Amino acid sequence: MEVGLTHYLAVSALLFCLGLFGVLTRRNAVAILMGIELILNAANINFVAFNKYVSPGAVSGQIFALVVITLAACEAAVGLALVMAAYRGLETAYVDEINLMKW
């Protein structure tokens, strides 16, 4: 059997859903961010796979992947800064305990 576009899309879908599971069920904010990283990786696999199978010869998909990696880095930096700030203020990194605005 030849490895085709669908194979990559399936792996990416599974990775996406694992990330989604992490985001939905984790209590720790850092763990949620890790789930988001998995989701972004899944998206990147899609970009690069479409690049190869749908528009070979150009590198637009890879450019997109690079931009997504950049954004992932920025997201991690800002998101983790928020976690640090929350931990300093509220002494917890668990999202269900950060409920000051719920009142």
Partner 1 sequence: MLLDWLYVAVFAIVGLVLAGLPLVIVWLLAPRIDYPQKRSTYESGVVPFGQAWAQFNIRYYIFGLVFVVFDVEVIYLYPWAVVFKDLGAFAFVEMVIFLTILMVGLAYAWRKGALEWV
Partner 2 sequence: MGKLAVFIILSCVTLIPAVIVVTSRNMVRAALSLVPTFLGVTGLYVTLDAEFVAGIQVLIYAGAITVLILFVIMLTEGGTGLRVRQMNAQTKLGALVAFGMAVVLIAFTTATRWPVKAGTMPRYNAAAVGNAFLTSYALVFEVTSLVLLVSLIGAIIIARREE
Residues 32-61 that bind partner 2 (CB under 8 A): 33-35, 37-38, 41, 44-45, 48-49, 51-60
36 binds, among partner 2, partner 1, none (CB under 5 to 8 A by kind): none
Q: How many CB atoms lie within 10 A of CB 76?
A: 15
Question: Whole-number minimum distance, CB 70 to partner 1, in Å?
Answer: 5
Binding residues for partner 1, per CB under 8 A? 66, 69-70, 73-74, 76-77, 80-81, 84, 88
Give the span between the Cα atoms of 58 and 53, in whole angstroms.
Answer: 11
Question: Is 78 a binder of partner 2 (CB under 8 A)?
Answer: yes
Give the span between the Cα atoms of 1 and 62, in whole angstroms.
Answer: 26
CA-based angle 78:81:85, to the nearest 5? Answer: 140
